[in-house]
Structure 1
Amino acid sequence: MKNKQPGLGVFEKYLSLWVAICMVLGIVIGKFIPQIPNTFSRFEYYNVSVPTAILIWLMIFPMMLKIDFGSVISASKKPKGLIVTCVTNWLIKPFTMYALAAFFFYVVFKSWIPLDLAKEYVAGAVILGAAPCTAMVFVWSHLTKGDAAYTLVQVAVNDLIILILFAPIVALLLGVDNVVVPMATLLLSTVLFVVVPLLLGVFTRTLIIRNKGLAYFENVFLKKFDSVTIVGLLLTLVIIFSFQGERILANPTHILMIAVPLTIQTLLIFTLAYTWARLWKLPHAIASPAGMIGASNFFELAVAVAISLFGLQSGATLATVVGVLVEVPVMLLLVKVSNNTRAWFPNTSTELPHLGGE
């Protein structure tokens, strides 16, 4: 993507506020108009909620349109940033997420959370941990003056890895707690929410650029999906919380308890990747997005998979939604940290050559 990425808009900046509003609205609907969630619960296929799947598609497809896999080949000449990203995201992050979630839900919060529910919260955290960010990282990269081209490569590579490792890692870590994972549903979710929108995104991107040009695609076509993504996210959250209302009203402190390991995980993963990049003397424009992509999550995919595996009323789904609630304020804090530590890194100019220098 050659043009500069957009900054944090009103929706993104106040995402946690919108999530909170949707939470309240969903709880009210579930409490006083239960016919709505009851109707939605009738439309399922292989445990996948069809209405929710459609809404999540509205969120995921526009993200996939932004991925240019042609740039991955060029990145092989500058592999260090990709090594930091891939090792942190796939050999460290899912396992630290499981360890933190298990510690807090099975030990620290043991007196307040029943074991069966604790297992569901751990499952939701694991699903989040196995889904590194593929969309909002463009915004975080822009806010820290990251190399836009290299950020695009990091996102593209992670999307490719998600296709291969997401399902096995989720199944492995959930199996540690003897959580039965219907592999057919997990694989179906991966196909529905990653493979299909990714292929359609690549096809659509190629077709539009070939006929209209890259400038039209980036400045006109992509903008048409901005409101679609927002509507899809907000409606999905309202539906989820309409199913979760009774549980939240009975255990309001669970939201705060779920947020604790998720917040610590975000700070930990950023620190690991960012420090590694500094030790390897990578430029800040590569180091910052390398830390951001692992710290934030592909919560759209996580929510979809949690719903598919455990249902709209599950603790796993609630945990993934809390991830949405805490992500933006924590990531904005990390943006500030990154900008304030720019001098720690070599080659701190804001305009880097193609794919950055190492």
Structure 2
Amino acid sequence: MGDNSTATRLSTLDRLLPVWIGLAMATGLALGRMIPSLGAGLTSVQIDGISLPIAAGLLIMMYPVLAKVRYDRLDTVTSDRRLLLSSLLLNWIIGPAVMFVLAWLLLADLPEYRTGLIIVGLARCIAMVIIWNDLACGDREAAAVLVALNSVFQVAMFAVLGWFYLSVLPGWLGLPQSSIEISPSQIGKSVAIFLGIPLALGYLSRRVGERTRGRDWYEHKFLPRIGPWALYGLLLTIVILFALQGDRITHEPLDVLRISIPLLAYFAIMWGGGYALGAALGLGYARTTTLAFTAAGNNFELAIAVAVATWGATSGQALAGVVGPLIEVPVLVGLVYASLALQSRFSAPTRPSVLFVCVHNAGRSQMAAALLSHLAGDRIEVRSAGTEPADQINPGAVAAMAEIGIDLTGATPKVLTADTVQTSDVVITMGCGDSCPHFPGVIYRDWKLDDPAGQPIDAVRGIRDDIAARVHALVDELLPSVASPQATAPAPRLAR
């Protein structure tokens, strides 16, 4: 693959991403400046406090990305305690504390803006971070899990942390105190709309699409068709956000500048801290990127809603909430490219080890191991074994694999041992799952496949092709961002 192959495959949307985002920001500001009543009109179109234009943009933006998530591999994320605990630490302990310190240090003389920024720091990101993570080639499945985790903590802890950082902690420090009016049910409603709806649609799309048309059609036909809509939704959301306070922003540039300074420092500290922590823990590029962006992003929809409900739409707190995404959008777009530039600095991850197990290790597991070795080369350690190994490889399996150029004549059945299972990352059983010992940290899958023993060659071909499709998906899962040695860092992949 040549250096230019990635660029030539990119759509115009991908190649000119910063241009489109810049135009969307300028369009929103121009509309807000030329039509002062536009902001009030946009916020008036709502149901129970939820702005419909913003909701529409976010739903359009998030659905294609969440439809790309492979929900059958979320267990590889939930079992990574280092990632989950690091995310909780960054999002719910360090992030709010950092914003509190920055707000008081840099906006001590502007109490409304200071309070608004503290609220922004408490509202952890559950929406737009999905986009930034995808653009930076982060781990989609990890992003889905961390965003869901943030959502649960947001419902449970936002009001509590708001009370602590606006009332309790300032009281301890002898500083002016404030308060907010927000209930867990209001936060839950925001989470259900901005995350729950696109998450449910993305999950159902994958389940129904793969069941009715297969994974190959879903990933190579359906996803490319809906992919560009994520960018369309992002651009629509940016236009709306910038239009909401375009008039005020252009009339109060110094206030916007004062609010921007602590925000810039916050994004730099949280993103850089997330990257440093992920690299120190050895999470690899994809999950380190996800950790950094989930730490740096904020739920601006919730922050703005809380500020408007408590202090009014024209308050300084509301302006601080609106300035949040205005600064976040261009900064995090820049950090997307910074992430991609850092990708080459990450050492290659340890080769994953896959063990295929069937009863006799003479047919299914041997075909799967040979196919995985053929497709992945030395990038994956491939093993196979049987609970009751046969004396020789099934002749039908040998013949079927020879038809596609893979030679099984030198393979021999091997007995399954506990040590082989324990030292594998992924164990795939084929009709003998109950006989396979289980160890913590090992991922287990069971592939329902017919036994080729005694089957005619046409039936064995069908089993071989079924295994091949599953192995292709396994390679995509275990090696999602592997490029050729000559390839440069990939460009953002949102609209592909």
TM (norm. structure 1) is 0.79
Select 2:281's aligned residue among 276, 279, 293.
Answer: 276
Amino acid of the residue matched to residue 171 of structure 1?
A: A
Write out per-residue CA displacement over residues 94-127 of structure 1, whole angstroms, 9 at most, x where no aligned residue: 322212211222113434xx11112112222332
Distance 1:124 1:52, change over 3 A: same
| 2:44 aligned counterpart, secondary structure | coil
Aligned counterparts of 2:293 and 2:31: Cα–Cα separation in 1? 30
Amino acid of the residue matched to residue 152 of structure 2?
A: I
Q: Give the equivalent residue in structure 2 for 1:145.
A: none
- Structure 2: give runs of 5+ residues left out of the alignment: 1-5, 167-178, 353-376, 382-473, 480-496
Distance 1:328 1:107, change over 3 A: same
Q: Give the equivalent residue in structure 1 for 2:35.
A: 33
Aligned counterparts of 1:295 and 1:135: Cα–Cα separation in 2? 13
Q: Larger deviation: 301-310 or 29-38? A: 301-310
On the 8 A contact 1:16/1:326 being kept in 2, the answer is no
Aligned counterparts of 2:98 and 2:12: Cα–Cα separation in 1? 32
Q: Give the equivalent residue in structure 2 for 1:264.
A: 269
Select 2:116's aligned residue among 95, 117, 120.
Answer: 120
Distance 1:342 1:132, change over 3 A: farther
Distance 1:352 1:107, change over 3 A: farther
1:129-168 mapped onto 2 (5 Å cutoff): 133-141=129-137, 151-168=139-156
Q: Give the equivalent residue in structure 2 for 1:289.
A: 286
Distance 1:156 1:129, change over 3 A: closer
Amino acid of the residue matched to residue 172 of structure 1?
A: V
Aligned counterparts of 2:342 and 2:235: Cα–Cα separation in 1? 29
The Cα shift of 1:135 comes to 4.4
Does residue 317 of structure 1 match 2:318?
A: no
Aligned counterparts of 1:269 and 1:158: Cα–Cα separation in 2? 13
Q: Give the equivalent residue in structure 1 for 2:302.
A: 305
Distance 1:21 1:299, change over 3 A: farther
Q: Give the equivalent residue in structure 2 for 1:170.
A: 158
On the 8 A contact 1:124/1:317 being kept in 2, the answer is no
Q: Give the equivalent residue in structure 2 for 1:61.
A: 63
| 2:157 aligned counterpart, secondary structure | helix
Aligned counterparts of 1:174 and 1:238: Cα–Cα separation in 2? 29
On the 8 A contact 2:87/2:294 being kept in 1, the answer is no
Distance 1:208 1:187, change over 3 A: same
Identity of paired residues, percent?
Answer: 16
Aligned counterparts of 1:12 and 1:172: Cα–Cα separation in 2? 41
On the 8 A contact 2:67/2:205 being kept in 1, the answer is yes
On the 8 A contact 2:32/2:39 being kept in 1, the answer is yes
Distance 1:58 1:356, change over 3 A: closer
In the comparison of the two structures, how many residue pairs are matched?
330
Distance 1:58 1:194, change over 3 A: same
| 2:245 aligned counterpart, secondary structure | helix
Higher relative helix content: 1
> Larger RCO: Structure 1 or Structure 2 (Cα < 8 Å, ≥ 6 residues apart)?
1
The Cα shift of 1:87 comes to 1.1
Distance 1:258 1:194, change over 3 A: same
Q: Give the equivalent residue in structure 1 for 2:91.
A: 93
Q: Give the equivalent residue in structure 1 for 2:221.
A: 220
Aligned counterparts of 1:37 and 1:129: Cα–Cα separation in 2? 23
Aligned counterparts of 1:234 and 1:342: Cα–Cα separation in 2? 35
Amino acid of the residue matched to residue 94 of structure 2?
A: T
On the 8 A contact 2:25/2:238 being kept in 1, the answer is yes
